Amino acid sequence: MTHPPVDNREHRLCVAPMMAWTDRHCRVFHRQLTRHARLYTEMVTTGAIRHGDRDRLLAFDAAEQPVALQVGGCDPADMALAARVAADYGYAEININVGCPSDRVQHGAFGACLMAEPARVADCVSAMRAAAPLPVTVKTRIGIDHRDDYAFLHAFAGQVADAGCEVLIVHARKAWLSGLSPKANREVPPLDYERVYRLKRDFPALRVVLNGGINTLDQAAIALKQVDGVMIGRAAYQRPWLLAGVDRQLFGERDEPVTRHDAIRALLPYIERAMHDDAELKHVTRHLLGLFHGCPGGRRWRRLLSEQAHRPGAGIDTLLAALAEVPEQSTAEVA
C-alpha cells in the first residue's frame, strides 16, 4: 500500500493525547490558537473501536485537522482494523500507545508494558501499514522498570522503525509498571533528554519527537535543534494561550495574531452546533478555564464559567457574559 511521505514539519509541535482532556471540544478550541500544531485524540482502545459507538468515539470536526487518533491495543488484526477505521474517518495519522503505565492499560496488555515486546509492536505497525494509507507512529518511554539502559531503547526503536514506523514520540522518562501511579510516572522518574537526542543521532531517517517536561515555546525551540518535533501536554492544556505563539515562533508564520477574545469569538459557531447536537455548555467551557491565566479578570472568568456553565439553560450568553468581564487585548499584547 502506498503511504504519503511524512512532511518534515508536520510534528514540529504536537499537543499530547490526554485522557479526559483532549476530546473533540478541546481540540477545536486549540485549533483556534494554532493552525499548524498536530493534535491528538484521547486514547481509544481497539476493543472500543471494534464493539463501541464509533461516531461517538471517533467523529471529529474538520477544523481540527491535522489530527491523529491514538489507539491502545496489542493484537495486529485489531490494530489493522483500527487503522482502516481511522482512515475511513479521515484522520491524518494513527498512533500506538506504548507509553501509558496505568494498571488498567497493563491489564489490557498494551501501553508501556509493550516496550518489553518490541516484536509485537513491530507486528502491529506492519499490519496497520498494510491495512491503511496512514502514517503509523508510536508513542513510547525511554525504558520500563529496570530495563532502562540506552541499548534497550535503541533495540526497540530499531525494530519498530524497520516495521515502517516513521515517527517515534518519546516521553523522556522511564515508566515504573508497579509502585507508581500514572501521575507519579509523569513526574517522579527523571527526565533524560540526552538519551532522546542520541536516539535521533543514531536513527537520522526516523522522525523523533521529544515529550516530557516542556513547558514553554523557548524550551521547545531549544529541543528542536536536536530532534524533529516536540510534544507538549499539561502546559498546553492548563495554559492554552501558549499555543497562540506556536505558528509564529516555531513555524515562521507572519499573519496577524489572534487575541484571546478573537479565539473565543471564533469558537462560538462550533459551540452552537455542538449544543444543537448533544453537548452542554460545560462540556466545552471546561477546556477554556485557563485561557486568561495571569490576565486581569482571569480569575473572574474562571469563576463565572465554573459556577454558571453547568446550570440548566446555560448557553452562549453565559460565555459572552464571562468574556465581558475580561479586558480585551490589542494584538500587540499577543505572544
Catalytically annotated residues? 100
End-to-end CA distance of the chain: 43
Residue 18 marked in a binding site: yes
Are 292 and 309 spatial neighbours (Cβ–Cβ below 8 Å)? Answer: no
Q: How far apart, in whole angstroms, are the C-alpha atoms of residue 123 and residue 1? A: 16
CB burial class (10 A; 0-12, 13-18, 19+) of residue 9?
middle
Is 19 flagged in the annotation as binding? Answer: yes
Q: Is 275 annotated as a binding residue?
A: no
- Return the closest-CA partner of residue 69 out of 34, 94, 39: 94
Nearest to 251 by CA among 91, 3, 2, 14: 14
166 C-beta neighbours (distance < 10 Å), count: 20
Contacts of 161 (CB under 8 A, 6+ apart): 168, 203, 205, 206
User: Which is nearest to 172 in space by CA: 208, 146, 137?
Assistant: 208
Tell me: is residue 47 an annotated ligand-binding position.
no
Flag whether 90 is marked binding.
no
Alpha helix (H) residue ranges in 60-175: 76-89, 103-107, 118-131, 150-162
* Inter-residue contact 201 to 241 (CB < 8 Å): no
Q: Is 213 annotated as a binding residue?
A: yes
Which residues 6+ apart lie within 8 Å of 315 measured at CB?
A: 275, 281
Annotated binding site: 17-19, 70, 139, 171, 211-213, 233-234
Binding-site residue set for FMN: 17-19, 70, 139, 171, 211-213, 233-234
